[in-house]
A and B are shown apart, each in its own frame.
With several copies, the nearest count.
Chain A
Amino acid sequence: MSERTLKYAHAIREAMSAEMRRDPAVVLFGEDVGAYGGVWGVSRGMHVEFGDRVFDTPISEDLIVGMAVGMAMRGMRPIAELQYADFVFCAGAEVFLSAATYRYVHDGAFTLPMVVRMACGGGGFGPEHSQSTEAYLMHTPGLRVAVPSTPADAYGLTIAAIRSDDPVFVLEHKLLYGMSGIVPDDHVTELGRAVVRRAGTHCTIVAWHDMLRRALAAADLLDHDGIDVEIIDPVTLNPFDFETVATSVRKTGACMVVEEAPRTLGVGAEIGARLMEEAFGYLDRPLVRLAIPDVPVPTAEHLVDSLVPSVDDIVAAARGLVGKR
């Protein structure tokens, strides 16, 4: 068998299981990841196969991440789960200070082959359980940041994250857990290589996670109008494959970033600034950023829906962007 059809959550489980079979240094832990299978069901059943290599921790986020640092320093390859991506702040010192700097400040005496997995995005859980915190992580030297948007990358990035000798933060999107897709066996996604998910000529759209799905849906609608967009999935945000974005923009002359995080200093800001620095002559229209306006994520889904860029928003913005040519 050279490929399987898997759901995103299942693909992550398969990836972790495959690595755990291969390498006894890998363990998985966090709140409710054992018998419960994780609040998102990602590790369901793994404790049966792997026994206490899949273990529950108390509700102690600083411990979860700090422990991963210590384990990684001593030759293990820990996978820590935080239930929500917002909880990077519950483990703030250990994420942004310890994990990010422990290697550097000890001048390379340690590598930190650790993974922190967490669920981001979506609605219904309020402002402390819905954030997509990738921009905070991307501003932090020392941390790798992966944003799988398909079951194949959910698999391949999880494998790559486990094998990486750096701390890799994998943001899994809640609304994608149930998404099905083809997962090639032995697929390892390269960290730092963006993928053109749809080739096009009229404008470049950069999007990931659920926003990528929406952008692809928008592209189909735009196609009917004769608007042909190119869609880029960055796959990882650190390293960030800016070259692929720049190449696309040099061709299309226009760029839109769609993201599920506050607009100010969202990832789109960095993309915009780099385009201005490195692809200045090629842009013939202003950048467009679709993002959450600068408010916290409310609880009610219909409020969240009103804030997060929709397929229609993307269609309208792309029309505007292309019309301005």
Chain B
Amino acid sequence: MHDGDRVGVYRRASLARRFEARVEQLAKSGEIPATLHMGAGQEVAQVAALAAMRDDDPMLYGHRGSAYWIARGMPLDSILCDIAYRDGGSNRGKGGPMHVVDVGRGVLGETGTLGGNLVIGTGVAYAEKYQRTGRVCIVFFGDGTANRGQFHEACNYAAVAKLPVIFFCENNGFGLSMPSNASSAVADLATRAAGYGMPGVVVDGADADAVHAAVASAAARARAGEGPTLIEAKVVRIGAHFLGDREAYRSTADKDDAKANDPLATLWASLDPETCAAIDAENDLLITAAVEAMRTRPMVAASTALERVYADE
């Protein structure tokens, strides 16, 4: 990445971090529901990955945080309205923050049950290839999700059919309370790629350049018709699984470790502090404005609950 790109990653990752801190405050105060899974520690990898893709490349995101949407330029107030079940969001209370959507920006939503993203993303990739759009689909998911059957079925088929898809695994060391080393005997989930005949790459999720490079080369490969890549980014989960999880299962040392290895701090340290400070000031204005905008919006009308089950509605 160029320096400018790295600053761009910082701008978006830091916005996500600060935005989520504000969401947490609002949720704790009871103003909005506490349903977002916080992304702290994973934003740099998420944003750097998307920075290596085209803006119209379809993505199925994971449930961890807001950086995916921010990276694609979705307005903060729209995201906040989805979280708050207010008018002005993308799914009018139907899906809340799990199902933010913006087709024009390639934000194709998410399945509520883990693993669905991978098979659906494979279908999306099939369609891109069939229609020769030149687009590549990226699917984000966690280490825990990599143990679902869908992971297997999707990776295997995408590889043999050489579909343009990137399976991007964010290994944050936990699937809710379960440490990755208890849920699988293999240290690097990327080694599974060999069992499907596709490349598997492990990257340090705190290294924006490394993530960017890995995704850029996977995307190039996919666009060249050579098929999928499994990328495993080692990231840290700085916060709890969700608000309300007291993390009794997690050692203080592990939590401290995660904080000490905060990828955003690492990225910040590699950049000019004044630039970063200026960006963060701008970001805070955006956040304030989004909160204001959200507050002007009413809760979505209950009647929406009956709409859009079927196509003619």
A–B direct contact (CB < 8 Å): yes
Total residues of chain B contacting the partner, CB 8 A = 72
Instruction: Pick the residue among B109, B121, B184 that contacts A58 (CB under 8 A).
Output: B184
CB of B309 within 8 A of CB of A141, answer: yes
A100-129 contacts to B (CB < 8 Å): 101-113, 124-129
B268-304 contacts to A (CB < 8 Å): 299-300, 302-304
- Residues of chain B lying within 8 A (CB to CB) of residue A127: 112
Instruction: Pick the residue among B90, B130, B302, B310 that contacts A302 (CB under 8 A).
Output: B302
CB of B112 within 8 A of CB of A107, answer: no
Q: Which of B9-17, B146-154, B201-209 sits within the interface?
A: B146-154
- Residues of chain B lying within 8 A (CB to CB) of residue A62: 115, 119, 149-150, 153
B239 close to A (CB within 8 Å)? no
CB distance from A30 to the nearest CB of B (A): 11
Tell me the nearest residue of chain A to B150, going by C-beta. A62
Tell me the nearest residue of chain A to B183, going by C-beta. A58
Q: Which of A68-76, A221-229, A317-325 sits within the interface?
A: A68-76
Tell me the nearest residue of chain B to A74, going by C-beta. B127
CB of A298 within 8 A of CB of B98, answer: no
- Binary CB contact string for chain A from 57 to 98 against chain B (1 if under 8 A, 0 otherwise): 111111101111111111110100000001101100110011
CB of B176 within 8 A of CB of A36, answer: yes
CB distance from A168 to the nearest CB of B (A): 11
- Residues of chain A lying within 8 A (CB to CB) of residue B302: 302-303, 305-306
A1 close to B (CB within 8 Å)? no
Tell me the nearest residue of chain B to A69, going by C-beta. B120
Say which size band chain A's interface belongs to: 35 or more
- Residues of chain A lying within 8 A (CB to CB) of residue B182: 56
CB distance from A164 to the nearest CB of B (A): 7
Instruction: Pick the residue among A68, A86, A105 that contacts B95 (CB under 8 A).
Output: A105
Given A58-B184, A73-B120, A106-B95, verify A128-B111 contact (CB < 8 Å).
yes
- Residues of chain A lying within 8 A (CB to CB) of residue B92: 107
Given A32-B176, A107-B92, verify A126-B112 contact (CB < 8 Å).
yes
- Residues of chain B lying within 8 A (CB to CB) of residue A68: 123
Instruction: Pick the residue among B35, B112, B123 that contacts A70 (CB under 8 A).
Output: B123
CB of A94 within 8 A of CB of B58, answer: no
CB of B119 within 8 A of CB of A32, answer: no
Given A60-B148, A299-B96, verify A105-B176 contact (CB < 8 Å).
no
Given A67-B119, A67-B120, A301-B33, verify A93-B96 contact (CB < 8 Å).
no
CB distance from B50 to the nearest CB of A (A): 19
Tell me the nearest residue of chain A to B154, going by C-beta. A63
CB of A58 within 8 A of CB of B116, answer: no
- Residues of chain B lying within 8 A (CB to CB) of residue A34: 177
Instruction: Pick the residue among A78, A126, A293 that contacts B99 (CB under 8 A).
Output: A126
Tell me the nearest residue of chain A to B247, going by C-beta. A36
Tell me the nearest residue of chain A to B137, going by C-beta. A70
Given A60-B148, A128-B113, A298-B94, verify A70-B309 contact (CB < 8 Å).
no
Given A69-B120, A295-B309, verify A126-B33 contact (CB < 8 Å).
no
B29 close to A (CB within 8 Å)? no
Tell me the nearest residue of chain A to B139, going by C-beta. A70
Instruction: Pick the residue among B98, B127, B304, B311 that contacts A76 (CB under 8 A).
Output: B127
CB distance from A294 to the nearest CB of B (A): 8
Given A31-B178, A299-B85, verify A66-B150 contact (CB < 8 Å).
yes
B187 close to A (CB within 8 Å)? no
- Residues of chain A lying within 8 A (CB to CB) of residue B150: 62-63, 66, 93-94
CB of B116 within 8 A of CB of A66, answer: yes
A70 to B312 CA separation, bound complex (whole angstroms): 20
Given A32-B178, A74-B124, A98-B116, verify A296-B309 contact (CB < 8 Å).
yes
- Binary CB contact string for chain A from 284 to 325 against chain B (1 if under 8 A, 0 otherwise): 000000000111101111111111000000000000000000
Given A60-B149, A165-B312, A302-B302, verify A70-B95 contact (CB < 8 Å).
no
- Residues of chain A lying within 8 A (CB to CB) of residue B131: 74-76
A59 to B118 CA separation, bound complex (whole angstroms): 15
Given A106-B91, A295-B305, verify A59-B114 contact (CB < 8 Å).
yes
CB of A299 within 8 A of CB of B177, answer: no
A213 to B99 CA separation, bound complex (whole angstroms): 31
A303 to B309 CA separation, bound complex (whole angstroms): 14
CB of A63 within 8 A of CB of B157, answer: yes
Q: Lowest 5 CB-CB distances: which A-B pairs, in order?
A: A70-B123, A66-B119, A128-B112, A165-B311, A300-B93
**11 chain-A/chain-B pairs, Cβ below 8 angstroms:** A56-B178, A58-B178, A58-B184, A59-B147, A66-B154, A73-B127, A102-B120, A124-B33, A142-B309, A298-B94, A304-B305
Known: A107-B92, A128-B111. 14 other contacts (CB 8 A): A56-B183, A62-B119, A67-B119, A73-B120, A94-B116, A94-B150, A97-B113, A98-B116, A102-B111, A109-B109, A111-B311, A126-B96, A128-B113, A303-B94
